[in-house]
Structure formats: C-alpha cells, structure tokens
Structure 1
C-alpha cells in the first residue's frame, strides 16, 4: 500500500479529493462546506429541549461532541482544529440566539444551508462529478476536515 495512505484519514482524503480536482469546485467548497457545517449546527441548535433547564443548544452540543470524537480519532491535530471550529460555531449560535432570537438563528441557518448547497451542486456541475456523499454518507463528515486539512497544508502543519 502507498505509504501516504496508511492512515484512515489519508484514505478518506485521497478518495474525497478524487471528486474535487477542479480549482473552481475546490474554491466553492472552501466557503460552502464551513457554511453548511455552521448551518447544520445552527439548525440542530434550534431543536427545543422541553422539561429541562436548557432552552436550546444541547442537541447541537452533543452532536458537535460526537462528531469531534470521530475527528479526533482520525487525527489529533485535526481534532484540535475542529474543536476550535466547533467552539466558534457554538459561540456564534449562542450569540445570534441571545442577540436576535432563536427564530432569526433558525431562518439564518435555513438560508445559509440552501445557498451553500446550491453552491456545492454548482461546483460539482463544473467538476463533472457527483458529490462524494452520494457514494458514502460519511463524506458529509469528511468535507469539513478536508477543507481544514487544506488550511493545515498551507500553514505547513502536520495532521
């Protein structure tokens, strides 16, 4: 086996990259994937938790923690980066909720989700390949760390 594909994360990235070779599609992904990640967390944030002291955010917190565990298991440095990303996303959701209300967070999340997915499908139309998640849903989790890994490589950080 290729020495660069020994780790599961490298295999995931190798396969994901095969569907993302076009520069325009990659650029779209750099913006759209984090936007989708934020919007999904924000949507889950808006799910009410009746009968507890938590009014919102608990489901999002649990989902972010479970996802972070998956990332951290694939790569500690990627896990640390996603911990920062999830913390930032959680803080932004809380700030929007506290400042403008849960309804604004919900409508913002829906808008961002729809616009970012339209951008993604335009990117894949340009690429001429279907999105990776259509072959394996795990690629919905790989997209954010693939984008993060591009940043790590640019900074010359190991993951």
Structure 2
C-alpha cells in the first residue's frame, strides 16, 4: 500500500504548472463540495426516518458515503483524515443551507460541471492527463493534495 507521501509525489507529476495548480486549488474542493451536495439531494427519508435524530445535516446519503471516504484517509494518515473530516463537515453544513434556498441538486450539478471544465482546462495548460485516468483513487488524493498544499508550511 502506498503512503500518502507517495500518492502526493505521483499526483504532483501532472500538477507542476502554476496555473494548473491554482485551478486545482479551486476546482478540486468545488467538485468535492458538489458531490456532497448531489449525495445530499438523494431522497433518504425511507432509511433515516427510523432513527428520528432530526439532524438533516447528517441524515443523508452524503454523510454515509463520507464515513467510507474517511476510512480511505484514515488508512493513509490520521491527520489528513481529520482535515478532510473538517472540510467534509463544512461541505455538509453549507450544502444544507443552500438547500434551504435553492434546489441543491441543480446548484450542485452546475458547480460540478463548471469545476470539471476548469480541471480539464488546467490539464490542457499542463499538457498532461488527469491522474485519475491512471488510478481512480486519485479522485480522493486530489482533495488531500489540495489541503496539504494550501495549508502546509512548505
């Protein structure tokens, strides 16, 4: 199993151009955020009504999927898992409030499409294919790489 650092080294190979990196710092979190929103949009009353927690921020498919996503990060780094958990919580909360004023699935699809266009534009500038075409796990490495690069003291 690769370490988080090995994943980052491999991911960084196709993310050297400063413009591509800047695009990724915006688009990768936006894609993650939009996926959380899309998952929150899936009706879940028939499952979660049994629990009666009255906590719509966690009674949805996004919260369930994010628990499994966190297991991926825990295997790589407890510290990174905490960082991603914090970001995930922000995504859940903000998406919940967006859903109070606007159809969340429409908003999420719009963000998703725009962010992917940005990603492919960035890779066009870079001249290299997106890493996830080599290994789908890079779809989860991308958010960690962004968190690490934005908040590291390197």
Name the residue aligned to 2:146. 147
In structure 1, distance between residues paired with 2:98 and 2:150: 27
In structure 2, distance between residues paired with 1:110 and 1:89: 15
Runs of 4+ displaced beyond 3 Å: 54-57
1:50 Cα deviation (Å)?
4.5
In structure 2, distance between residues paired with 1:69 and 1:82: 11
Deviates more, 1:13-22 or 1:63-72: 63-72
Q: Pick from 31, 34, 57: which aligns with 1:36? A: 31
1:75 aligns with 2:59: no
Name the residue aligned to 2:96. 94
Name the residue aligned to 2:121. 122
Give 3-state SS (helix, strand or coil) of 1:100's partner: coil
1:38 Cα deviation (Å)?
0.2
Name the residue aligned to 1:138. 137
Q: How many residues align?
A: 147
Q: Which has the higher contact order (CA 8 A, sep 6+)?
A: 2
Superposed CA RMSD in Å reads 1.9
TM-score, normalization by structure 1: 0.86
TM-score, normalization by structure 2: 0.88
1:153 Cα deviation (Å)?
1.6
For structure 1, which runs of at least 5 residues remain unmatched after alignment? 1-5
1:7 Cα deviation (Å)?
6.1
1:152 Cα deviation (Å)?
3.1
